[in-house]
Amino acid sequence: MHDLVGQQLGNYRVVRLVGRGGFADVYLGEHIHLNSLAALKVLHAVLTAEQQESFVQEAQRLVQLRHPHIVRLLDFAVQAGTPFLVMD
């Protein structure tokens, strides 16, 4: 996957790469209106329509989880077929 620094994902401007893994890259993102910071986890896979629906359903379940040892999911999207999660 190419470097996304300087690009925009949803309402977030990609500030810098935080880490790379086999499944996804994690970037620091800044909300373009609120100036708040969040982690943007950008999955390496481009999803089919069926996989995108599964991704949406999983995100809907994840956003309901509240525990001090679980990273909170703030938002998610699929942009140009590439899914990403916005997390604390």
Task: Note every long-range contact of 2-7, with CB atoms under 8 Å and residues 24 or more positions apart, other chains counting.
Answer: 4/42
Contact 42, 4 (CB under 8 A): yes
Length of the chain: 88
Contact 19, 5 (CB under 8 A): no
The tens-digit pLDDT sequence of the chain (88 residues) is: 578 999 999 999 999 999 998 888 999 999 999 999 999 999 887 778 888 788 888 888 888 898 999 889 999 888 887 889 999 8
- Closest to 40 in 3D by CA, of 9, 72, 61: 9
Residue ranges of domains in the chain? 8-87
The CATH fold assigned to 8-87 is: Phosphorylase Kinase; domain 1 (3.30.200)
Q: What is the pTM of this model?
A: 0.84
Single out the residue of 24, 45, 44, 33 nearest to residue 87, CA to CA.
Answer: 24
